[in-house]
Amino acid sequence: MLEFGIPQNRREQARVLLFKILSDCYILMVKTQNYHWNVRGSHFHSYHQMLGMQYDDLAEAIDMLAERIRTLGFHVSANYKNFVTQATLEEEVGEPDTEEMLKKLTDDHEYLIREIREAIGKLKETEDEGTTDLLVERLRAHEKTAWFLRNHLSDYA
C-alpha cells in the first residue's frame, strides 16, 4: 500500500485540490493558446511571443500537476469534459481585441493565485510538503505572469 508518510485520506485531499488547479490551468492554457494564435495589432510580434512562452509554461505546469497526482497514487482522469466540469475558469468563445485578451488572462492568473493560496492553506494539515512545494512554485509563476500581463494593460498604473 502506498503511504510514504501520508495517509490515504490526506493524499485524497491533495488529489482533489490538485485536480481542480490542474483543470483551471488546462482551461487557461487553451485560452492562452487561442490568444497566441489570434492576437493582432501593432505589438503583434511581442505579444505573440509572450503568449507563446506563457502557453509553454502552462503546458509544463499541467504535466507537473498531473505527475504529482500520479505520485500520490491516483489516476489522472485527463479528458476535456472532466477539466471543464472541475474548472472555475471559462473558455473563450468570442473574439476579444488584444487589450481584452490581456485583461482576461490577467484576471485568470489572479484567480489562480487566490485558488493556489487557498489550497496551500488547506494542505498545511496534510503535512504533504511535496505537494505544497509544487503549489508554491506555481504560485510564484502565476504571480509573475499576472505582473507581466498587468504591465501591458493601458489602464494599469
pLDDT digits (tens, 9 = 90+) for 57-88: 999 999 999 999 999 999 999 999 999 999 99
Residue type, 54: Q
In CATH, 8-87+96-150 is 1.20.1260.10:
yes
Where the chain has pLDDT below 50, the residues are 157
What pLDDT does residue 89 have? 97
Among 16, 10, 21, which residue's Cα sits nearest to residue 116? 21
Delimit the domains of the chain by residue range: 8-87+96-150
Write down the pTM of the prediction: 0.94
